[in-house]
Structure 1
Amino acid sequence: MEKKNIDWANLGFGYVKTDYRYVSNFKDGAWDEGALSTDDTVTLSECAGVLQYAQTVFEGMKAYTTEDGRIVTFRPDLNAQRLENSAKRLEMPVFPKERFVQAVLETVKANAAYVPPFGSGATLYIRPYMFGTNPVIGVKPADEYQFRIFTTPVGPYFKGGVKPLTIRVTDFDRAAPHGTGHIKAGLN
């Protein structure tokens, strides 16, 4: 597969729209079969659970091109497990782990032209996420959800390397016991 004409060496850590994303909807207690889509827009009610109560969880991983030209990801099954843990904590339906991994692989394959070449220093960032879609005005979980995966080629998060910084250590806890600091959620 021929790669897209992108200046891989100077790519920052930002969003570059790719051709396909994966979308699956949860309604009436079940996930639909899901599919790849070229539509990068999300249409929501102004009262959607994600907007009113931050009912959203997400993951992040990368795909790489190896020296022999293969495209690989690193342990997507562990990202699937963490998304499951995050969803359960926010009383969201679990997106099945096997389907999560398969959807990641399908999305990466569909966007293979955006996976940076070996040695470029860039990667294809993969963002699986799920959010409450139906209107929710009372404090309760949504009934309908959407699971999506988008990809974007990125350069290093810290261009030029990590710079040392001065920090202050306090007794303040960011994550309270039995709270949500151990999951990846929009409310963090």
Structure 2
Amino acid sequence: MSTTTELEFRIERNSSAKSDAEVAEILQNPGFGHYFTDHMVVIDWTKDGGWQDARVVPYGPLMLNPASAVLHYAQEIFEGMKAYRHADGTVHTFRPDRNAARFAGSARRLALPELPEELFIESLRQLVEIDQRWVPEYGKDQSLYLRPFMIANEDFLGVRAAESVSYYVIASPAGSYFQDPTQPVSIWLERELSRAGKGGTGAAKCGGNYAASLLPQQTAYANGCEQVLFLDAFEQKYLEELGGMNIVLAFKDGTVATPESDSILASVTNEAILELVAEAGHKVERRRITLDEWREGAAAGEITEAFAVGTAAVIAPIGTLKATDFVIENPPVTLDSLSMRIRAQLTGIQNGEVPDTHGWLHQLV
């Protein structure tokens, strides 16, 4: 059995890669998740052989047997992160060690093999190095979105952890997740359906959690909202998270709070944001927060800001929380609001415009 440190990536270049002109045209308006680079990373794993056959290959469809375990038992996980072009032309990613740790935690929960941190980060480097022309230019508020994921691909219908798995990394150039990231978004309150429950897979980044959010998300759209907010599955009174983002509340006394629960996915972005908030002199609380606290605090003027946090959007201010029987209107934000100041600081670090005093950046190319 080979150790991960002995794995060498073999390279198979894409003979049908897009021309420089085609890539340049795509980068004019990439949107989010619409276009994909010329290559992808693949690493296989078997119960007897461990991690093996690391390679960079042309981007293309996967060949799966109809009996493949992932299609029947949803044994899969993924991550989301970005690569940023700096002014000197180098390309960096943000806190990949934290994504690697979360990926390993998701793997444990889904009974998948854990990918070592060094192999996780090297897989990102390998893909970005070969497809670096897909990383948008510095100064355009764009990035290369990286999507590592792992699937169980053993051809077997028995209900047990698969003994054959593949890990992949694909990449997609990305503009702003919301058209104007400084404009408040509206949130729909889901009171019947839950994203995840205590002891479930809520803390793992797996597709099933997102599938559970899609029907409520449709309801949100139907009510004129961009996102959906879930409450805890047991009492339906505590804030959990949005369909794909965490939530943060800022109070008049300077306190900043985010919901805490074992069914919430820990956010690498939120972790960094709260660290910057604390450094700015604010008291930070990770605790259970009731819907009533938000509702009453907003009405009394005690809650001054509410914002959504995630890799794709970074920070998006929440303007309105809509429910069937009430509406919370949050105060308007300005560029001097806490959320916008912290957003500017964090994106400045990510893009190499603000000194990285935390050692969060990792150069890929």
Structure 1 length as normaliser, TM-score?
Answer: 0.91
**Distance in 1 of aligned mates of 2:190 and 2:116:** 40
Match of 1:10 among 19, 23, 29: 29
Partner of 2:89: 69
**Distance in 1 of aligned mates of 2:64 and 2:192:** 40
* Most deviating of 38-47 and 53-62: 38-47
Query: Is residue 114 of structure 2 the alignment partner of residue 91 of structure 1?
Result: no
What is the root-mean-square deviation of aligned Cα atoms in Å? 2.2
Which amino acid letter does the alignment assign opposite residue 186 of structure 2? Answer: L
Closer, same or farther in 2 for the Cα pair 1:61/1:85, shift >3 Å? Answer: same
Contact 1:57–1:184 (CA<8 Å) still a contact in 2? yes
Query: Is residue 170 of structure 2 the alignment partner of residue 146 of structure 1?
Result: no
**Unmatched runs of 5 consecutive residues or more in structure 2:** 1-19, 210-365
After superposition, residues 1-188 of structure 1 pair within 5 angstroms as: 4-27=23-46, 28-161=48-181, 162-168=183-189, 170=191, 173-188=194-209
Closer, same or farther in 2 for the Cα pair 1:109/1:3, shift >3 Å? Answer: farther
Which amino acid letter does the alignment assign opposite residue 34 of structure 1? Answer: A
Which amino acid letter does the alignment assign opposite residue 125 of structure 1? Answer: Y
The higher relative CO (CA closer than 8 Å, separation ≥ 6) is in 1
Q: Looking at CA atoms only, which structure, 1 or 2, has the larger radius of gyration?
A: 2
Shift of 1:70: 1.2
Contact 1:123–1:154 (CA<8 Å) still a contact in 2? yes
Structure 2 length as normaliser, TM-score?
Answer: 0.48
Which amino acid letter does the alignment assign opposite residue 184 of structure 1? Answer: K
Contact 1:130–1:148 (CA<8 Å) still a contact in 2? yes
**Unmatched runs of 5 consecutive residues or more in structure 1:** none
**Distance in 1 of aligned mates of 2:36 and 2:188:** 36
Closer, same or farther in 2 for the Cα pair 1:146/1:129, shift >3 Å? Answer: same
Which amino acid letter does the alignment assign opposite residue 119 of structure 1? Answer: G
Q: Whose strand proportion is higher, 1 or 2?
A: 2
- Secondary structure (helix, strand or coil) at the match of 2:141 reads coil
Contact 2:32–2:172 (CA<8 Å) still a contact in 1? no
- Secondary structure (helix, strand or coil) at the match of 2:146 reads strand
- Secondary structure (helix, strand or coil) at the match of 2:45 reads strand
**Distance in 1 of aligned mates of 2:178 and 2:138:** 19
**Distance in 1 of aligned mates of 2:34 and 2:194:** 32
**Distance in 2 of aligned mates of 1:166 and 1:82:** 27
Q: Whose helix proportion is higher, 1 or 2?
A: 2
Shift of 1:152: 1.1
Shift of 1:29: 4.1
Deviations 1:113-168 (Å, cap 9, x if unpaired)? Answer: 00000111211010000000012312211110000001111111112335431533
Shift of 1:4: 3.4
Percent of aligned pairs with the same residue? Answer: 35
**Distance in 2 of aligned mates of 1:84 and 1:144:** 17
